[in-house]
Amino acid sequence: MGPPVNDLTDLLGAYAAGRTTPVEAVDEALGCLEKAHAAYNCTIRVLDERARAAAAASARRWADGTARPLEGVPFGVKDVIDVAGVPTTHGSWNHGDEPASASATVVRRLEEAGAIPVSKDATTEFAVGGPHPPRFGPVRNPWDPGRWAGGSSTGSAAAVAARAVPCALGTDVGGSVRLPSAWCGLTGLKPTAGAIPRTGVFPLSWTTETVGPIARSARDAERLFAVLRGPDGADPRSTPLPPLEVPARPDLAGLRIAVPGGAFTELCDTAVRAGVAHLVDELVAAGAEVVPGEVPSAGDALPIGYQIVFTEAATLHRVDADRWDTYDPVVVRRISQGIVTPAVDYLRALQFRVELQRELDAVFADADLLVVPTCPSTAPRLPDGTVVVDGEEFPLYAAQSRSTMLGNLTGAPGLAVPTGLAPDGCPVSAQLVAPPHREGTALWAARVFQERTAHHRQAPPSAS
Partner 1 sequence: MSGEGGTTDAVPGAEELAALAARLGFTVDEETVAALRAAVVGAETAVARLRARPLPADGAADPAHGDAWVRP
Interface ranges with partner 1 (CB under 8 A)? 192-194, 207, 237, 239-242, 300, 303-304, 306-307, 314, 318, 321-322, 324-325, 329, 332-334, 336-337, 339-340, 345, 347-355, 357-358, 410-412, 436-437
Nearer to partner 1, 10 or 439 (CB): 439
Nearer to partner 1, 112 or 393 (CB): 393
Nearer to partner 1, 318 or 452 (CB): 318
**Shortest Cβ 293–partner 1 spacing (Å):** 18
* Known catalytic membership, residue 377: no
**Shortest Cβ 304–partner 1 spacing (Å):** 6
Neighbours of 99 (CB within 10 A): 12
**Shortest Cβ 1–partner 1 spacing (Å):** 46
Nearer to partner 1, 13 or 230 (CB): 230
Neighbours of 386 (CB within 10 A): 16
Instruction: Provide CB contacts within 8 A for 124, sequence distance 6+.
Output: 91, 130, 131, 133, 151, 152, 154, 328, 330
**Shortest Cβ 109–partner 1 spacing (Å):** 19
**Shortest Cβ 377–partner 1 spacing (Å):** 20
Nearer to partner 1, 122 or 409 (CB): 409
Q: Say which of 176, 217, 238, 429 is annotated catalytic.
A: 176
Nearer to partner 1, 34 or 355 (CB): 355
* Known catalytic membership, residue 403: no
Q: Say which of 152, 156, 217, 401 is annotated catalytic.
A: 152
* Known catalytic membership, residue 103: no
**Shortest Cβ 355–partner 1 spacing (Å):** 6
First to last CA, the chain: 18
CA 175/CA 380 separation, integer angstroms: 15
Nearer to partner 1, 48 or 355 (CB): 355
**Shortest Cβ 136–partner 1 spacing (Å):** 22
Cβ density class 235-272: b for 16+ within 10 Å, e for less: beebeebeebebbeeeebeebebbbbeebbbebbbebb
Q: Say which of 58, 78, 103, 119 is annotated catalytic.
A: 78
Q: Which residues are catalytic?
A: 78, 152, 176
